[in-house]
Amino acid sequence: MKEVKVLRLGHRPSRDKRLTTHVGLVARALGADGIILDEKDPKIEKSIIDVAGRFGGDFSFGVEEKWRKLIKNWSGKTIHLSMYGQKIQELESELRKITDRLLIILGSEKVPGEVYEIADYNVAVTNQPHSEVAALAILLDRLYEGKKLEEEFDGELKIIPSEEDKIVKEKD
């Protein structure tokens, strides 16, 4: 894929700060190029950009209040993650063939019904209630076939895997 962005719909600054931050962190760590919120939230932006700056990787943050227009005019494919969608197991090989830009639409509160109509794909990682953070992680991992788990980031800080300790190495 040329570019993968995550559109976070229905972000509620008073309620969703931690969860939306986790959406951004998972998106960055597992291969997305950026996140777009449908409502401005400077604290989320600062948090996500700070992590990208310290741990590395090119990751963008944007705000688009006219999300309908964004989805309709997206020059690429759109995937709406929803527990009501088609099973990812039935679509994953088709989704991996997407070579152009990809917009992953991820709701917070109830997503307007029109999203189901305008998205190219409505995908479910399970047809049971679950976390949108988990759904995003599973989708990205399936799209990249686990390869992003091995990717190295060139940041100021690097976590060194350890069985017993927390080891963080600073860039020389």
Contact 48, 21 (CB under 8 A): yes
Among 1, 101, 12, 7, residue whose Cα is nearest residue 62: 7
pLDDT at 14: 66
CATH number at residue 38: 3.40.1280.10
Q: Could you tell me the residue range of the domain that residue 103 belongs to?
A: 4-170
Q: How far is CA 15 from CA 108, 121, 148, in A?
A: 10, 28, 30
DSSP SS3 for 48: helix
pLDDT at 64: 95
pLDDT at 110: 82
pLDDT beneath 50, residues of the chain: none
pLDDT at 103: 98
pLDDT at 34: 97
Alpha helices, DSSP H, located in the chain: 17-29, 42-55, 67-73, 88-96, 114-118, 132-143
pLDDT at 13: 67
Burial 12-49 (b: 16+ CB within 10 A, else e): eeeebeeebbbbbbbbbbbbbbbbbbbbebeebbebbe
When divided into structural domains, the chain yields a total of: 1
Q: How far is CA 24 from CA 35, 64, 81, 98, 166, in A?
A: 6, 15, 15, 22, 23
Tokens of 18: 């931690």
Helical packing angle, 17-29 and 42-55, nearest 10°: 30
